[in-house]
Amino acid sequence: MVLADVFLDHGYAVAVALINPSVKDDDAAFTAAVARAVSSKSSATVSFHTLPRIPDPPSLAFDDDRFFTNYFDLVRRYDEHLHDFLCSVQGLHAVVVDASCGFAIQAVRKLGVPAYELYPCDAGALAVNLQIPSLLAGSKKLGGGEEGSAPV
């Protein structure tokens, strides 16, 4: 919402597309989070849109070893809905995507508008994440890319 305020101060309209990550249709936590965002100081000029649910969303249990894999699969499966939503936005100039939803940039590129990825973390976290492709490449060379074969 802080970034939305900056855009609003420069005369841009802001729309936020949301994905409900719950496997339940009536997730109280998601509803409460959206209500908090809508009640923030920018809500009068920011429009919020929850994308239609996808069939059979993957489980996002934090104790699941596949949490991140499932999360990225969930985000990727929303690309079509995001693309449809963006096509409905009048005067679309650019799209900012949270880094945790980086796969969404593929849906934006189809529209021919600039896409920017926001990484709202500290420099240390960014440095670690920038090393992931190298670690994965090294893991594949060392152990054939099997789970658990990455060097620690």
CA 134, chain centre distance (Å): 23
Q: Name the pairing type of β-strands 14-18 and 95-98.
A: unpaired
Residue in this structure with the two tokens 């990825």, named with its chain if needed: 117
Of 2-6, 40-44, 68-72, 88-92, which gets the smallest average pLDDT?
A: 40-44
* pLDDT at residue 150 tops 50: no
The amino acid at residue 144 is G
The answer, yes or no, to whether residue 18 has pLDDT greater than 70, is yes
CB 69 within 8 A of CB 75: no
Q: Against a cut of 0.75, is the pTM above it?
A: no
Where in the chain are the domains?
2-120, 124-152
In CATH, 2-120 is 3.40.50.10860: no
pLDDT on residue 4: 84
> For residue 117, which phi and psi values (nearest 5 degrees)?
-105, 120
Q: Which of 10-24, 93-107, 128-142 has the highest mean pLDDT?
A: 93-107
Amino acid identity, position 8: L
- What gap in Å lies between CA 97 and CA 117, rounded to an integer? 5
Nearest to 73 by CA among 95, 57, 51: 57
